[in-house]
């Protein structure tokens, strides 16, 4: 009986240690996804195509808040790099990440100020986004992005 107690304590310590390691690994991966999300949002705001090309999978799909479906090229060139669109503000917040093996889902609230053409007044929007990331060969990429307008406050 006396030998069973130290063995039980050792087993519990090993189990809690492995659970702590798994929890730390999950937290680290969540932070990696949030950083990737922020870099994509910043690339859109700054009209920087290189990070977008690198971060989006070749078969990326975007469902806009107006229910349009865009592929990677249309998202980058028709939206993010479109010279007729300016984004004085493109600020994500309230990011939450769920990871299941090689898939991560990120939700965020995004505050957007968009200027649609020279001399136009900025339009303020709020969107809720849902992003699906996949990990292949140790690297996370954005596979799908869905945006939903939040109702305007009266």
What's the pLDDT at 26?
72
What's the pLDDT at 130?
98
Measured in degrees and rounded to the nearest 5, phi and psi for residue 108 equal -155, 160
What's the pLDDT at 153?
60
What's the pLDDT at 2?
57
**131 to 39, 40, 67, 80: CA distances (angstroms):** 13, 11, 15, 16
Give me the residue spans of the domains in the chain: 4-149
Is the distance from CB of 52 to CB of 62 less than 8 angstroms?
no
The residue ranges of the chain whose pLDDT is under 70 are 1-4, 7-25, 153-154
Domain 4-149 has CATH 3.40.50.1820: no
What's the pLDDT at 154?
45
Is the distance from CB of 55 to CB of 142 less than 8 angstroms?
yes
């Amino acid at each position: 009986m006396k030998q069973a107690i130290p063995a039980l304590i050792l087993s519990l310590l090993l189990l809690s240690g492995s659970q702590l390691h798994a929890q730390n690994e999950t937290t680290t991966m969540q932070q990696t996804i949030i950083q990737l999300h922020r870099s994509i949002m910043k690339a859109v705001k700054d009209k920087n195509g290189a990070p977008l090309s690198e971060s989006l999978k070749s078969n990326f799909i975007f469902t806009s808040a107006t229910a349009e479906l865009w592929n990677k090229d249309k998202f980058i060139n028709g939206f993010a790099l479109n010279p007729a669109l300016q984004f004085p503000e493109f600020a994500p917040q309230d990011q939450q990440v769920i990871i299941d093996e090689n898939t991560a889902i990120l939700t965020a609230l995004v505050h957007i100020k968009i200027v649609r053409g020279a001399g136009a007044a900025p339009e303020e929007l709020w969107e809720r986004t849902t992003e699906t990331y996949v990990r292949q060969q140790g690297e996370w990429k954005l596979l799908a992005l869905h945006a939903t307008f939040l109702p305007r406050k009266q």
